[in-house]
Amino acid sequence: MEKIVSLCKRRGFIMQSSEIYGGLNGCWDFGPLGAELKRNLKDFWWRRMVRERDDVVGMDGSILMNRQVWVASGHEATFSDPMVDCRNCKSRLRADQLPEKDGKRQCAVCGSLDLTEPRAFNLMFKTYVGATEDESAITYLRPETAQAIFVQFKNILEVARKKLPFGIAQIGKAFRNEINPRNFTFRSREFEQMELEYFCRPEGGLELLEYWLKERLKFYKDIGISSELLHIHKIPPEECAHYSKGTYDIEFDFPFGIQELEGVAYRTDYDLTQHQKASGKSLEYFDEETKQRFVPHVVEPSAGVDRTVLALICAAYSEEMAPDEKGKLETRIVLKFHPRMAPIKCGIFPLLKNNEKLVRQAREIVKILRPHMMVFYDESGAIGRRYRRQDEAGTPFGVTVDFDTIGENGPTNEGTVTIRERDSMKQERVPILELKSLLLDRID
Ligand code: ATP
């Protein structure tokens, strides 16, 4: 994990928020490569979950909502973790994540057994709306994106003119005042979620739970996370939320252990019923064919953007021995991202930076490719070093403009470039005219 954290900082994937002021625990910033990676992940999720489907529409809700949303959903009363204080070292800890010694909870920091009794700590960030900081102005930063979907269910049903089963999807920030943020971005206080609420008839819920679990596993495969690194954990009924008739956690083999990436839960009609009761507004669905009126049930695949980004980086990280230009073996660090996720799709290199013809041709190729994909032009240093820099950034393809390209070695290869593939390091010659379509085929 240390190597991954250091690569992330060194290459500008992820860095501490407010670093020059000593940081803010549980908050992270994504640098140039991290921001691209995150965007690629969110765009692909949106494409799979919304654009490629007839039965799902998207929404983008506000982060601040009426406090009553959180009263009705149960978050104000019960969205808490059990917290203990260590009387010895004064650490605040999450009671359910502590090691035990002789049947007693032990402080994870100093090992003391002298801990207070657990008490509930609400994870929502409280804030005030407007100029007066009194009870009537209180609301919270949303701890999940799902509730905006539930409270807009009726409006969206009307405008989207969908029939059950259908879903509403959303990507957005969520905030939880976690007691112990840790494991890099895995447990943050500010993070993003990608959530789908898929509404259905009561009798369809259990089958759709299985369907969505399969769909979501397919998604991870399609972003390059191999099934060997994933685990499906079926939550035993006694541990499920009281309203859930079935929940799966999709877990990933992180360097710090197997941990949840996504929850897929059959939440019955709990959320809509709660909001219907509390708001006094009907959230029922009317079935034209059967003339039945009922509150739909819902299946929810809920994934974390930041956790998945971290999983993508962990899954991609590899170190191998490879010869440098002089044939000497050295360690090559490569991020083997699926081309779909890679922040930069193609590096473009003139063999020499002081040859005007090579540079002009390379710049021309940048111009051709740039409207279609993220490319990176690099003319500095030996070509082998430029390849290595892109290997570390996870760039799947490198295009080199050499003397053959500009016709200085005869007409045979004029107008062609070499493409180097990151993982195999194999090179092939292709005509510049075919470059765009060839790369587009390979990065999608
Ligand atoms: P955990 O048990 O790890 O706290 P959870 O079961 O409370 O997670 P959910 O409420 O199911 O999480 O949230 C759905 C998804 O949102 C999680 O699978 C995870 O990917 C993401 N998520 C939740 N909390 C955090 C966090 N503190 N930091 C980063 N991502 C988070």
Quick check: CB of 177 below 6 Å from ligand 1? Answer: no
Quick check: CB of 142 below 6 Å from ligand 1? Answer: no
Q: How many Å lie between the centroid of ligand 1 and the Cα of residue 304?
A: 7
pLDDT single digits (tens) 37-72: 999 999 999 999 999 999 999 999 999 999 999 999
Q: What is the pLDDT of residue 319?
A: 95
Quick check: CB of 305 below 6 Å from ligand 1? Answer: no
3-state DSSP of 268-282: CCHHHHHHHHHHCCC
Task: From 191, 213, 309, give the residue whose CB has the most ligand 1 atoms within 8 Å, as the site to mutate.
Answer: 191
Q: What is the pLDDT of residue 327?
A: 82
Count CB-CB contacts under 10 A for residue 32. 14
Candidates 328, 52, 300; CA nearest to 197 is 300
Helix (H) or strand (E) holding 169: strand 166-175
Q: What is the pLDDT of residue 362?
A: 97
Q: How many Å lie between the centroid of ligand 1 and the Cα of residue 23?
A: 22
Candidates 393, 444, 388; CA nearest to 420 is 388
Q: How many Å lie between the centroid of ligand 1 and the Cα of residue 268?
A: 20
Q: What is the pLDDT of residue 249?
A: 97
Which positions of the chain have pLDDT values less than 70?
none
Q: How far apart are CA 53 and CA 60, in angstroms?
A: 18
Q: How many Å lie between the centroid of ligand 1 and the Cα of residue 140?
A: 17
Q: What is the pLDDT of residue 97?
A: 87
Q: E strands of 176-328, at which residues?
A: 190-200, 230-234, 246-254, 257-266, 285-287, 292-294, 297-304, 317-323
Q: What is the pLDDT of residue 44?
A: 98
For residue 242, CA distances in Å to 75, 191, 238, 270, 426 come to: 14, 26, 8, 10, 55
Q: What is the pLDDT of residue 440?
A: 97
Q: How many Å lie between the centroid of ligand 1 and the Cα of residue 262?
A: 7
